């Protein structure tokens, strides 16, 4: 499916559903803050020069920021 894309490649404003994780290395804190499989997210802000990415966890209505490095481990499917 060409719609599958890692989170860091999504553009500002795009919505996507988290499908899977590329690696087990992601700390448990990511899951605790709402990055769980099936969760819908929306990209809110991207800091310049591949800086952190700020996303909304749609169901929690919270804003969470992560680094590009970890975002690239999260596989999503565009909505």
CA end-to-end distance (rounded Å), the chain: 13
Q: Which CB, 2 or 49, lies closer to another protein? A: 49
For the chain, the residue count is 79
CB atoms within 10 A of CB 45: 13
The footprint of another protein on residues 1-60 (CB under 8 A) is: 24-34, 36-38, 44-52, 54, 56, 59-60
Q: Which CB, 3 or 36, lies closer to another protein? A: 36
Half-sphere exposure of 38 (CA within 13 A, CB side): 0
Q: Which residues bind another protein (CB under 8 A)?
A: 24-34, 36-38, 44-52, 54, 56, 59-67, 69-70
């Amino acid at each position: 499916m060409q719609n599958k894309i890692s989170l860091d490649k999504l553009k500002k404003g795009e919505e996507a559903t988290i499908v899977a994780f590329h690696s087990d290395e992601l700390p448990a804190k990511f899951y605790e803050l709402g990055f769980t499989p099936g969760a819908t997210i929306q990209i809110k802000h991207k800091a310049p020069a591949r800086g952190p990415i700020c996303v909304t966890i749609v169901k929690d209505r919270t804003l969470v920021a992560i680094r590009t490095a970890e975002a690239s481990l999260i596989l999503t499917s565009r909505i």
